[in-house]
Amino acid sequence: MSHTPKLGFVCPMPWTQMSGDDRGRFCYACRMQVPNLSLLSFEERQRILERAQTEKVCGTFLVRLSGEMVTPEKPLTPKERLGIRQLGLAALSAGALAVATGCVSPQQTTLATPTTEAATTPTAQNPASTVDNPKTEEETIILMIGLIICEKPAPVRPKLPNGKW
């Protein structure tokens, strides 16, 4: 079962704000265990998805650009892992650029953290990222362009007396 399960609801709670490990975490918003389906065996995934027919079930998983779910049977390739790192670096660069150009102030970029004790435990990267694993540099660039949103109009440079910019 490497196809992507159909989602009835996308949870707004980030994986990084849940307590637990990479295999599963606890969501304080809905008070449920959230397993990482990409790390579970075929049988474990089957049991969880069968339970979803009769009860509310939460879960997270990684998806390739092709729409295929990442599983232990078909893990990320080294090239896909590199793409994830490149995407993270591009996101960091885009955020720094937005702050440097004045589109976003540093105060706007801070994240609120829950006030529970478990929120202080270190967390891993969010495997439920809404951005798929890019396979090429061009796809990474295209995905990152949408992250820079500037509400202030760009300054207009005046023309020099000779008519050049």
**pLDDT (tens digit, 9 = 90+) per residue, 5-38?**
666 677 788 888 889 998 899 988 888 888 988 8
40 Cβ neighbours under 8 A, 6+ residues apart: 23, 48, 72
Distance, CA of 148 to CA of 6 (rounded, Å): 30
How far CA 41 is from CA of 70, 89, 142, in Å, comes to 11, 31, 33
* Confidence band of 149 (pLDDT split at 50, 70, 90): very low
Kindly report whether the global pTM for this prediction surpasses the value 0.85. no
Distance, CA of 74 to CA of 69 (rounded, Å): 8
Mean pLDDT of the 102-125 span: 43
Distance, CA of 114 to CA of 112 (rounded, Å): 7
The rounded mean pLDDT for the chain is: 65
CA dihedral 54, 58, 62, 63 (to 10 degrees): 50
